[in-house]
Chain A
Amino acid sequence: MRARAADRGTGQAGSEQPVLRLDRLGRVHGSGPTAVHALREVDLTVHAGEFVAVMGPSGSGKSTLLTLAGGLDSATEGRVLVEGRDLAGLGRAELARVRRTSVGYVFQDYNLIPALTAAENIALPRELDGASRRSARREALDALGEMNLAELADRFPDELSGGQQQRVAIARALVGDRRLVLADEPTGALDSESGEAVLVLLRRRCDEGAAAVMVTHEARLAAWADRVIFLRDGRIVDESAAGNPESLLAGGGAR
C-alpha cells in the first residue's frame, strides 16, 4: 500500500487542477521590530489522491500552514487556492462555505462537539449547508458504515474511545463533496494502535480520491504519506517522497 502511495507522489501533478495550491505563502504576526514571520514563501501543490505530511520542529510554522490552507487565518503574502479558488478574495461567509463544502479539518483532540452524537457530528457540515436533517443523517450513517462504526451512530463523543472519535472526525472532514482533509497531529492523543487505524483510514480516503495534508512530529506516521515536506523557521527546507521512518528522520534532521 505504501509503495503504491509513493508512486502517486509528486509526479501526479499534471494538467489536473490541484486540490490545494500554496503560492509563495507567507504569514507575519505583528509589525515593525516585533514582527514574527511564522511562514515565508511557501510553495506547495497537493493533488487529488495525494497524502502530504508536514514535519518540523515546534514553531516551524506547521500549524500556521494548515490554518492558512483551510482559510482559518489570512495570509499576509502569497496565495492559497483550494480547488482553484483564491481564498484571499473571499469574504467570511464565502470562506465558511469553502469549509463546509471543500475542506475538512481533523485536530489533535477535542474534535467532536460533545452535545452532538457521532452521526450528528458527521452530519454537521451538511446541516450547516442547508441539507435536511434526514438526508444529512443518511450521509452520516453511510460514512459511519464505511468506517465500520455504524453501531456507534447515536453515541455521544464521551461514550467513544479516542480512536473512534478521530475516525468520526475524519468521516466528518470528508462528508459531502469535500476532497481536502487538513489534519493537525490527528493521532497525537491516541495510542499507537488507534493512531494506526486513523492513518489507515486517511490513506484509504486519499486512495479513493481525496487529498490530505497532515502535520506530524513523528516520522513513523509521516511514512504513511506520499510526500513529506520539512519546515523550519517558516520555510520549506526539504521535500521528499516518504520512505522508511529512519530515512525521514535523517532527512528532516539533517536540514
Chain B
Amino acid sequence: MSRRGPRWRAGWRLALRLAWRDARRAKGRSALVVAMIALPILGVTAADLAFRSGQLSEAQQLTRELGRADARYHVHTQGSPMEQSRTGDEYTYLAGGEDDFTSDSRTPAEIERQVRAVLPEGAVLVPDWMTRHVVSTRTGQLKTEVRELDGTDPVTEGMLTLLRGHYPERAGEVAATQAFLDESGLFVGSKLRFRGLDEEFVVTGAYELPDDLGETQVLAPPGTVLPRIGTESDWYLPPASYLVTLPAGEGTAGGVGWDLVQEANAHGMIVDSRAVLLESGGSAGRETQTTVVAGGVSAGALVVLEICLLAGPAFAVGARRSRRQLGLIGANGGDRRQLRAVTLAGGVVLGAVAAAVGLAVGIALTFAGRPLIEHAAGSRFGPWDFRLPELAAIAALSVLTGLLAAMLPAFAAARADVLTSLTGRRGVRRSGRALPLLGGCGLLLGTALALFGGLAVDDSRVTAAGAITAELGLVALTPLLVGGAGRLARLLPLPGRLALRDAARNRGRTAPAVAAVLAAVAGSVTIATYAVGDEAKQRAEYQAALPDGWVSVSAMERDQRELLPQAVRVAERELPVAERAELGGVLPGGADCDPYADDCGSAGLSIPEENRCALTYGDAMALSAAERREWSEDPRCTDDPSQGQGLTSSDMAGSPALGVGGPEILDLLGIGDREARAALEAGEVLVFNPALLDEGPDGEPAITLLETLPGHEYGDGTPEEEADRTLGFPAHLVEGESWGLPALISPEAAERAGLATGVHSVYWTTSRPPTDGERQAFDAALDRLGSPPYGYVESGYQGSDDAGLLILTLAAMVITLGAAGIATGLAQADAEEDLATLAAVGAAPRLRRALSGLQCGLIALLGVLLGTVSGVVSGVALRLAAHRADLADWQKTIDQGWESSARPRLFVGLPWETFAQLVVVVPLLACLVAALLTRSRVPLARRAG
C-alpha cells in the first residue's frame, strides 16, 4: 500500500529533480541565466556586507573617537557656563562665552587645571589638541590638521592605526596620516616645516584615522608645536580637548555620568561621555530615509523586471526544448499545475544556484576589495557583519527573480495541448486577453499620472511613478503590439516577411525580448531626454564670469596672496596667455591681513539710496509678497552693483568693491574710450554701473567709498553708519561691459587718497582657447602649491559630463543586443525545419543569414522604437515636473524675500544623438552581428513527432 502525500508536493519534488538535471544538461543556457540573475545579487550582497560592516555599533564608534578613555572634554570657554545635549552634538554658550576660546591666552597647564577641577581625584588626562595650520611640503604648502597627542599612550588604542615607522616621541618629530603623505609627496623620514617655525620636523611614522582615512593630519607630541604656532580662530572647535579616564573605584564605575557632564558644562566644557552616549543610544541618530528606500525598492523592482524579461526567453527556450518531455508528463497524467511546476522549478533551481553564486562571489569580492571600499567610503570597516536575515532575503530575491522569469514560459508551456507537445506540432497560440487589457489600462493610467504629476503636482515622484506604470503597461502590451506588427509582413520581401511573421507567430519568445529592450531603452531615453532639457536650461542660464578665453588667478586669503606670484608664473608657464592686467582692491588692514581670519576692516562703494535694491538693502521681509515680486523684476535689483561677476567681488560687508588698477584693465576689457583713460589717469574713478553714481558737491558725478578700519565690529546697521571713513571721488561713467567690475581707481589715485591697497587678482587674455591638457596641467600645478590662489579659465558653457549618459546608452545597447540575440537564437532553433524546407526548394545559403539578421534586427528595432516613445514621454513629464519645482522654488524665494532671479523657463529637448545611436545603429548592429554569427549551412533536420 503506497503512502500518499499532497499531489502538489509530489509534483514539485519531481519538478525540482527534473529541473536540476535539465539545468545540468543545458549547461550553456543555465550558465547564461545564472549569470544574469547572479550579477545583481552579487552587487546587492557586496553592498549589504560592506554597508553593514562599515556601520559600527555605538561602542565601536566610541572606541574610534575616544580610544579607551571614558570621555573627551572639550574646553570651549575660560569658565563661562554652557549647555549641551546628551549626545554633545548641540550646545549653546551662556553668558556670552562664545568668544572665550578665540581670545584664550592661557597656558596648557592652566587649561588642564580647569578640566581637573571638575573631575574626581585620580582621573587621568591625556591632552588631544588640534588646530589647522600651513605646513610646507615638497612642492608648496598645505593647510592641514595639526594634532598633539601621545600616540604611544594605550588610551589611544582604536583611535589611530600606525602603518609604518613609529609615533613621535620627542620635540622635532612628527607622524603624519597616509592621506597627508600622499597629498604632500612626503614620506616617512622626510622633513617638514610649520609656517612660522624655523626648524624642520622629521616624519617618524605614517598612521591613519580609521574613521577618516582621507584626513590630512600631522601628529606631534603634546606641547611641542601648538604652543609655538598658535591656534587659528576660524577653526570650528577650540583646540583644547582631553581624553579622560576615571580612576577605578566607587562612584566612577559607570564612567563619566550625566552629572559630571553637567558640571563640566557649568565650567565651560563640552563632554563626549562614553557612558552618557551609550545610555542615550548614541549620536548617530540614523533615520530611515523613506525616499531613499522607496527609490531603492523601485530601482530594484525595475532591475528584477529587466532580468526577468531578459531571462524569460531563455526559459522559453528551455520550455520549448522540453516540449516532448512535458507532453510525456502530460500523457502520464501530469496536470497543468504539475506541468507548470516543471518549468517554474527551472526558475527556482537556477535562481537558487544564482543565489549561491551571487552570495559567494559577492562576499568574496567584498573581502578582496575591502581596502578599496574602505578608501572609497573614507573609513575602515568594523568587524565583518553578516546579517543572515538580509543575506537570506537576498537569496530569496534571487530565487524569486528566477521564478518570475520562468513564470510566463511556464504558463505558456502548461497551456500547450499534450498532443501538440507530443507530436511537436507548431502553431500560433492566441495569447490571453487579460495581459493586454491590463497593459492598456497601465499605459493610460500611467501616462495620465505622469502628465498630472508634470503639470499639476509639485512632486516629481508622482511623475516617476506614472512613467514607470506607463512603461510596465507598455511592456504588458508588447505581445499585442508584436502581433500587430506581424500584419505588415506582407509588405516585405521574403526574408523580412519570414522574420516578421515568425516574430508575430511566436510571441512567447519575441515579446519578452522586445519588452526587455523596451525597458532598457526607455530608461536610457528617459534620462537622456531629461538631461537634454536640463542641459539646454543650464546653457541658457550660464553666466560667464569672464570674457571667453580669459584666465584669472585670484587670492583673497593671506595664505593665497603669499602664493600669488608663484601662481602667476604657473599660469604663464602652462597656458597660452597673451595680455595681462593686475587688479587690486582696497585693503584697510593691509596686504598682510587675512580678511577671513582676522579683523581686517572693509571698504565698499556706497549705492545712493534711490538706486538701492530693496531686496538687498533694507528689510525685504517688511515688504509684501507682491512688492517683493515687483522688486525682483526692477532694474535696481537685476543690475545690483553688489552682485558682482567674475572680475571682482563684493567686499566683506557685501558692498560693491572698488577695483584698483591701471589702464591695462581697460585694454584687456577692450574699452577704447580715450576720455575714460584720461579720467583714470587724472585720478577720477571710472564707474561702470550708473547705479553707483551720485552727485558731488559741485554737481559733478561722484562716487562714495565707505571704509571700515581694522578693529571695528560689524553690526546690522546701514553701511554709512558702520563706516569709519567716507571718501568721495569724482566719477566718470564708462559705457561697456566690465564683467562685474563696478568701478576702477588707479593705484596712484588710491595712494593719494590714503587707501591701503593690494593686488588680489591677475587676468590674462589668451592667444587661443587653452586645451583640456593645458587646463589640467594648470590646475595640477596650482594644486601642488598647497593652498593656492583660485585659478580660473573661462571657456564658456562646457556642458555637463556626458559619461553617465554614454554609459546608460551603452548599457541599453548591450541589453538590446543580448535580448535580441537570445530571442534570435531561439527563433533559429525553432526554424530549423523551415530553413531545411527553404534549402530544399532552392533558397540560397545566405537566406539563412539574412533571416537570422532580420529577426535580430527586428526585435531590436521594435524594442527600441517602443522604448524610445516610452522614454520620451517619461523624460518630458519629468522635465515638466522639474520646471514646476523650479517655478515653485523661484516663487518661494521671492515670497521669502531672498535674492531675485529671472523667472525660470521651460526647456524641453529631444536627445537626437541618443536616438541615432539606439534607433539606427543598434538595430543595424544587431542585424549584422546576428547575420555574421549564423552558419549559412543548414544542418540536417529530423522529423519532429
Check A131 against B422 for contact (C-beta < 8 Å).
no
A158 to B325, CA, bound (A): 14
Taking residues whose C-beta sits less than 8 angstroms from the other chain, chain B's interface range is: 20 to 34
Most A Cβ at <10 Å: residue of B7, B11, B418: B418
Check A113 against B333 for contact (C-beta < 8 Å).
no
Report the stretch among B18-26, B91-99, B505-513, B649-657 that lies at the interface: B18-26
A139 to B1, CA, bound (A): 10
Given A67-B419, A72-B418, A116-B18, answer yes or no on A130-B332 (Cβ-Cβ < 8 Å). Answer: no
Most A Cβ at <10 Å: residue of B14, B17, B332: B332
For residue A235, which residues in chain B have a CB less than 8 angstroms away from its CB? none
Task: Give which listed residue, B4, B17, B25, B336, contacts A131 with CB less than 8 A.
Answer: B4
Interface string of A109-141 (1 = CB under 8 A from B): 011111110001000111111111111101100
Contact residues of A: prevailing secondary structure: helix
Interface string of B645-683 (1 = CB under 8 A from A): 000000000000000000000000000000000000000
State whether the Cβ of A73 lies closer than 8 Å to any Cβ in chain B.
yes
For residue B814, which residues in chain A have a CB less than 8 angstroms away from its CB? none
Task: Give which listed residue, B4, B324, B338, B418, contacts A110 with CB less than 8 A.
Answer: B324
A138 to B332, CA, bound (A): 18
Check B333 against A111 for contact (C-beta < 8 Å).
no
A67 to B338, CA, bound (A): 21
A225 to B246, CA, bound (A): 104
For residue A131, which residues in chain B have a CB less than 8 angstroms away from its CB? 2-4, 10
Task: Give which listed residue, A120, A129, A135, A139, contacts B7 with CB less than 8 A.
Answer: A129
Given A111-B328, A127-B10, answer yes or no on A135-B25 (Cβ-Cβ < 8 Å). Answer: no
State whether the Cβ of B6 lies closer than 8 Å to any Cβ in chain A.
yes
Check B21 against A115 for contact (C-beta < 8 Å).
yes
Give min CB distance, B341 to chain A, whole Å.
10
State whether the Cβ of A105 lies closer than 8 Å to any Cβ in chain B.
yes
Task: Give which listed residue, A72, A93, A107, contacts B335 with CB less than 8 A.
Answer: A93
A113 to B21, CA, bound (A): 11
Most B Cβ at <10 Å: residue of A116, A120, A172: A116
State whether the Cβ of A217 lies closer than 8 Å to any Cβ in chain B.
no
Check A125 against B422 for contact (C-beta < 8 Å).
no
Task: Give which listed residue, A120, A128, A132, A134, contacts B333 with CB less than 8 A.
Answer: A128
State whether the Cβ of A220 lies closer than 8 Å to any Cβ in chain B.
no
Within 8 A of A (CB), among B558-593: none
For residue A125, which residues in chain B have a CB less than 8 angstroms away from its CB? 332-333
State whether the Cβ of A8 lies closer than 8 Å to any Cβ in chain B.
no
For residue A70, which residues in chain B have a CB less than 8 angstroms away from its CB? 331
Task: Give which listed residue, A93, A96, A99, A132, contacts B4 with CB less than 8 A.
Answer: A132
For residue B2, which residues in chain A have a CB less than 8 angstroms away from its CB? 126, 131-132, 135-136, 138-139
Check A96 against B3 for contact (C-beta < 8 Å).
no
For residue B9, which residues in chain A have a CB less than 8 angstroms away from its CB? 130
State whether the Cβ of A24 lies closer than 8 Å to any Cβ in chain B.
no
For residue B17, which residues in chain A have a CB less than 8 angstroms away from its CB? 115-116, 120
Give min CB distance, B30 to chain A, whole Å.
13
Given A126-B2, A127-B14, A131-B3, answer yes or no on A113-B419 (Cβ-Cβ < 8 Å). Answer: no
Give min CB distance, A117 to chain B, whole Å.
10
State whether the Cβ of A165 lies closer than 8 Å to any Cβ in chain B.
no
A98 to B332, CA, bound (A): 9
For residue B5, which residues in chain A have a CB less than 8 angstroms away from its CB? 130, 132
Give min CB distance, B271 to chain A, whole Å.
68
Q: Which residue of B lies closest to A99 (CB)?
A: B333
A120 to B338, CA, bound (A): 16
Give min CB distance, A119 to chain B, whole Å.
12
Give min CB distance, A72 to chain B, whole Å.
5
Check A130 against B10 for contact (C-beta < 8 Å).
yes
Check A128 against B14 for contact (C-beta < 8 Å).
yes
Interface string of A76-96 (1 = CB under 8 A from B): 000000000000000011001
State whether the Cβ of A101 lies closer than 8 Å to any Cβ in chain B.
yes
A66 to B419, CA, bound (A): 11
State whether the Cβ of A37 lies closer than 8 Å to any Cβ in chain B.
no
Given A107-B422, A128-B11, A128-B14, answer yes or no on A115-B333 (Cβ-Cβ < 8 Å). Answer: no
Check B334 against A96 for contact (C-beta < 8 Å).
yes
A105 to B419, CA, bound (A): 12
For residue B11, which residues in chain A have a CB less than 8 angstroms away from its CB? 127-128
Within 8 A of A (CB), among B134-151: none
State whether the Cβ of B330 lies closer than 8 Å to any Cβ in chain A.
yes
State whether the Cβ of A204 lies closer than 8 Å to any Cβ in chain B.
no
For residue A133, which residues in chain B have a CB less than 8 angstroms away from its CB? 10, 13
Give min CB distance, B661 to chain A, whole Å.
88
Instruction: Report the count of interface residues on A (CB-CB < 8 A).
Output: 39
Task: Give which listed residue, A73, A105, A115, contacts B325 with CB less than 8 A.
Answer: A115
State whether the Cβ of B869 lies closer than 8 Å to any Cβ in chain A.
no
State whether the Cβ of A47 lies closer than 8 Å to any Cβ in chain B.
no
Task: Give which listed residue, B14, B329, B331, B333, contacts A101 with CB less than 8 A.
Answer: B333
Give min CB distance, A88 to chain B, whole Å.
16
Check B18 against A97 for contact (C-beta < 8 Å).
no
Check A72 against B10 for contact (C-beta < 8 Å).
no
Give min CB distance, B424 to chain A, whole Å.
9
State whether the Cβ of A100 lies closer than 8 Å to any Cβ in chain B.
yes
A116 to B332, CA, bound (A): 14
Check A72 against B422 for contact (C-beta < 8 Å).
yes
Check A172 against B332 for contact (C-beta < 8 Å).
yes
Check A129 against B6 for contact (C-beta < 8 Å).
no
A97 to B9, CA, bound (A): 16
A70 to B332, CA, bound (A): 10
For residue B329, which residues in chain A have a CB less than 8 angstroms away from its CB? 113, 124, 128
Check A127 against B13 for contact (C-beta < 8 Å).
yes
Given A92-B336, A115-B25, answer yes or no on A124-B14 (Cβ-Cβ < 8 Å). Answer: yes
Check B7 against A115 for contact (C-beta < 8 Å).
no
A97 to B335, CA, bound (A): 8
Give min CB distance, B538 to chain A, whole Å.
60
A104 to B419, CA, bound (A): 14
Check B3 against A135 for contact (C-beta < 8 Å).
yes
A172 to B333, CA, bound (A): 12
For residue A105, which residues in chain B have a CB less than 8 angstroms away from its CB? 331-332
Q: Which residue of A lies closest to B25 (CB)?
A: A115
Check B335 against A124 for contact (C-beta < 8 Å).
no
Within 8 A of A (CB), among B74-131: none
A79 to B579, CA, bound (A): 105
Within 8 A of A (CB), among B6-53: 6-7, 9-11, 13-14, 17-18, 21-22, 25
For residue B331, which residues in chain A have a CB less than 8 angstroms away from its CB? 70, 72, 99, 105
Q: Which residue of A lies closest to B4 (CB)?
A: A130
A226 to B14, CA, bound (A): 38
Give min CB distance, A31 to chain B, whole Å.
17
A241 to B762, CA, bound (A): 118
14 further A-B contacts with Cβ under 8 Å, apart from A116-B17, A120-B17, A131-B10, are A72-B418, A93-B335, A93-B336, A96-B336, A107-B422, A113-B328, A126-B2, A128-B7, A128-B14, A129-B4, A129-B7, A130-B7, A132-B3, A139-B2
A-B contact pairs, 5 of them (CB 8 A): A100-B332, A124-B329, A130-B6, A130-B10, A132-B3
Q: Which 8 A-B pairs have the closest CB atoms?
A: A100-B333, A135-B2, A115-B21, A96-B335, A130-B7, A99-B333, A131-B2, A130-B4
Q: Which residues of B contact A (CB under 8 A)?
A: 2-7, 9-11, 13-14, 17-18, 21-22, 25, 324-325, 328-336, 338, 418-419, 422
